[in-house]
């Protein structure tokens, strides 16, 4: 039987590869090529000699349509990776000119070859981007015409350094955060290069810098901090004289971030003690998730791509050990945090301030890393959850959905042990407060989104939950299809508590018997229902 994929919903390049990767390369000695008949992309023997002119022409057209479909999906895939608009077409021409793929068709073997090349291209792009950012250093942000301003948000705060040209960078001076970032970015970059696919989120580039106390750079950093302290003290005096107590409180908080307090070191003490600075790439044209307008939040809850990005990110971040963005399960003590997620106009996620816990690593040292053994229960829960949803009746599914989103005086919704998306639902639909929930309340700025929160339609909640589940399924499939390279590279990385290959094998075993096509059909039907209810 030929492999077939319906293309009505414009499949991604990854979906094309996943669908046809196990198809035969040859049938009775003939190459198997892809053909697009109407909306169905399918495999067929490449031999045309036995067909008459009309039939032969029709089949050539179907081949050409398949080539165009693959080219368009490849262009979009590489553009999302930051490689340019027509990078996919250019890559295909390059491989065709070298005779590495067919020039007039796409065979199954060609698709696999393209996938290998694409992964290499993305890995090279990631490596180049990291190196380029690291080489720039922070020297250019020490000039007299560069302003250093302390951010309003964050427990420890960051410095926003801005040149008079408008170019900005984020600087953080916190030794413990430095250690976390060192491990987190090591794991992130290992993960990105092992997978070689587009991830559902971005993370700004970061470089760790040593600033010895006998260097000019050290003196310039200290001077810049002292200038900002002096400026804030002047602003504080003005706020107190003007009896603007809310503003005075915010300025005092910024001064604590710079100078420290009786119970915590500030940036200056951290610099003096440890001589280390982190420089982060500035996230442009995006806002923290909890600070988006209420109207934008309501729009995102109905966006299929946003909900699916949240669900897929939840799975991948859980696997990487990141614990302060989107968390899986029902442990509300370590909740999902939209204040650490920048979101642009299109709903793209950009993660800031990565955090993770300490573990005993395989070499018996204690440090920040992934507790790979404890992940087994979480991922068992996720795969069992998907199997139950796939097998359950539509009526039972509706009942589960209603129970999961039922308001509760304590937590806002059901947090049953069998619900791996409880944590994300909690952060998305909890009553507003000054923290990491999506809907926000801040008494200092007189911002309160309680009315908008109350107005969230039930259909929007259900649609969002369905899309998170879809994303969760895709995240699990991404881990599975890259399990071999992930296991090897993370094992070499050394920042895991146990052999990551065991955890990935455990995930693969949990996915055995799960019918993703049947699950998709059920979720797609519900998506259509809830979309129509909101129109």
Q: pTM (2 decimals)?
A: 0.88
Q: What was the pLDDT predicted at 487?
A: 95
Q: How confident is the model at residue 263 (pLDDT cuts 50, 70, 90)?
A: low
Best CA proximity match to 273, nearest among 230, 332, 211: 211
Q: What was the pLDDT predicted at 29?
A: 45
Quick check: 333 pLDDT over 70?
Answer: no
Best CA proximity match to 212, nearest among 221, 201, 204: 221
Whole-angstrom Cα distance, residue 469 to residue 314? 10
Q: Are 230 and 236 spatial neighbours (Cβ–Cβ below 8 Å)?
A: no
Quick check: 409 pLDDT over 50?
Answer: no
Q: Using one digit for the tens of pLDDT, what is the confidence trace for 209-250?
A: 899 988 888 898 999 999 999 999 999 999 999 888 888 888
Mean pLDDT of 172-186: 92
Return the ∠ at Cα 74 (arms to 69 and 77), rounded to 5°.
Answer: 130
Q: Are 41 and 5 spatial neighbours (Cβ–Cβ below 8 Å)?
A: yes
Half-sphere exposure of 497 (CA within 13 A, CB side): 19
Q: Kindly report the number of other CB atoms within 10 A of residue 445's CB atom.
A: 12
With DSSP H G I counted as helix, E B as strand and the rest as coil, what are the percentages for the chain, rounded to 5? 55, 15, 35
Q: How confident is the model at residue 26 (pLDDT cuts 50, 70, 90)?
A: low
Q: How confident is the model at residue 35 (pLDDT cuts 50, 70, 90)?
A: confident
Whole-angstrom Cα distance, residue 207 to residue 134? 5
Q: What percent of the chain has pLDDT over 70?
A: 91
Q: Are 326 and 310 spatial neighbours (Cβ–Cβ below 8 Å)?
A: yes
Q: Are 91 and 15 spatial neighbours (Cβ–Cβ below 8 Å)?
A: no
Helix intervals (H) in 81-170: 87-97, 108-136
Q: Using one digit for the tens of pLDDT, what is the confidence trace for 113-127?
A: 999 999 999 989 988
Whole-angstrom Cα distance, residue 64 to residue 199? 30
Mean pLDDT of 28-32: 60
Q: Using one digit for the tens of pLDDT, what is the confidence trace for 137-152?
A: 887 888 878 889 988 7
- The token duo for 372 is 């790979």
How far is residue 329 from each of residues 59, 339, 396, 399, measured CA to CA in Å?
50, 19, 21, 20
- The token duo for 371 is 């507790």
Best CA proximity match to 467, nearest among 424, 506, 412: 424
Q: Using one digit for the tens of pLDDT, what is the confidence trace for 73-99?
A: 999 999 988 888 899 999 999 999 999
- The residues with which 108 forms a beta bridge, in sequence order, are none
Mean pLDDT of 408-416: 42
- The token duo for 197 is 């696919």
Quick check: 408 pLDDT over 90?
Answer: no
Q: Kindly report the number of other CB atoms within 10 A of residue 394's CB atom.
A: 11
Domain boundaries of the chain, sorted by first residue = 13-134, 139-287, 294-533
Whole-angstrom Cα distance, residue 426 to residue 459? 17
Instruction: Using the structure block, give the residue that is written with the tokens 């070689």.
Output: 196
Give me the helix-helix angle, 516-533 and 375-391, nearest 10°.
Answer: 70
Q: How many residues does the chain have?
A: 535
């Amino acid at each position: 039987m030929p492999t077939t994929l319906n293309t009505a919903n414009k499949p991604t390049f990854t979906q094309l590869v996943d669908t046809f990767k196990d198809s035969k390369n040859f049938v009775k000695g003939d190459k198997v090529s892809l053909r697009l008949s109407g909306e169905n992309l399918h495999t067929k023997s490449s031999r045309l000699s036995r067909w008459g002119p009309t039939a032969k022409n029709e089949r050539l057209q179907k081949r050409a349509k398949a080539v165009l479909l693959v080219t368009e999906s490849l262009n979009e895939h590489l553009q999302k990776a930051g490689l340019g608009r027509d990078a996919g077409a250019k890559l295909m021409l390059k491989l065709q000119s070298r005779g590495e793929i067919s020039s007039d068709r796409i065979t199954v073997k060609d698709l696999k070859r393209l996938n290998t090349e694409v992964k290499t291209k993305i890995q090279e792009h990631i490596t180049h981007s990291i190196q380029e950012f690291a080489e720039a250093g922070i020297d250019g942000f020490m000039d007299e015409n560069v302003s250093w301003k302390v951010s309003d948000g964050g427990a420890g705060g960051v410095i926003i350094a801005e040149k008079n040209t408008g170019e900005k960078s984020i600087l953080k001076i916190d030794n413990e955060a430095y250690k976390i970032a060192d491990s987190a970015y090591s794991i992130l970059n290992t993960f990105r290069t092992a997978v070689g696919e587009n991830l559902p989120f971005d993370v700004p580039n970061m470089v760790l810098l040593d600033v010895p106390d006998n260097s000019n750079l050290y003196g310039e950093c200290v001077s810049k901090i002292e200038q900002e302290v002096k400026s804030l003290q002047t602003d504080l005096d003005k706020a107190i004289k003007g009896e603007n107590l809310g503003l005075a409180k915010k300025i005092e908080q910024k001064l604590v971030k710079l100078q420290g307090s009786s119970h915590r070191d500030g940036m200056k003490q951290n610099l003096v003690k440890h001589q280390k600075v982190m420089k982060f790439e500035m996230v442009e044209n995006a806002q923290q998730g909890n600070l988006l307008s209420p109207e934008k939040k309501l729009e995102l809850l109905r966006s299929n791509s946003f909900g699916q990005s949240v669900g897929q990110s939840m799975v991948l971040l859980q696997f990487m050990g990141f614990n302060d963005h989107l968390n899986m399960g029902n442990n509300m003590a370590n909740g999902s945090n939209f204040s650490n997620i920048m979101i642009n106009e299109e709903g793209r996620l950009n993660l800031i301030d990565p955090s993770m816990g300490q573990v005993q690593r395989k070499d018996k040292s204690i440090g920040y890393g992934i507790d790979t053994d404890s992940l087994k229960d979480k991922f068992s829960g996720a795969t069992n959850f998907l199997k139950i949803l796939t097998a359950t009746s539509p009526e039972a599914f509706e009942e589960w959905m209603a129970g999961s989103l039922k308001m509760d005086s304590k937590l806002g919704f059901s947090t049953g042990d069998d619900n791996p998306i409880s944590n994300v639902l909690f952060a998305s639909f909890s009553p507003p407060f000054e923290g990491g929930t999506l809907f926000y309340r801040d008494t200092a700025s007189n911002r309160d989104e309680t009315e908008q929160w109350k107005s969230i339609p039930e259909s929007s909640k259900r649609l969002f939950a369905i899309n998170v589940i879809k994303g969760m399924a895709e995240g699990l499939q991404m881990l599975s299809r890259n399990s071999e390279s992930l296991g090897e590279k993370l094992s070499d990385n050394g920042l895991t508590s146990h052999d990551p290959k065991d955890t990935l094998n455990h995930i693969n075993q949990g996915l055995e018997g799960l019918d993703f096509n049947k699950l998709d059909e059920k979720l797609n039907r519900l998506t259509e229902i809830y979309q129509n209810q909101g129109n």
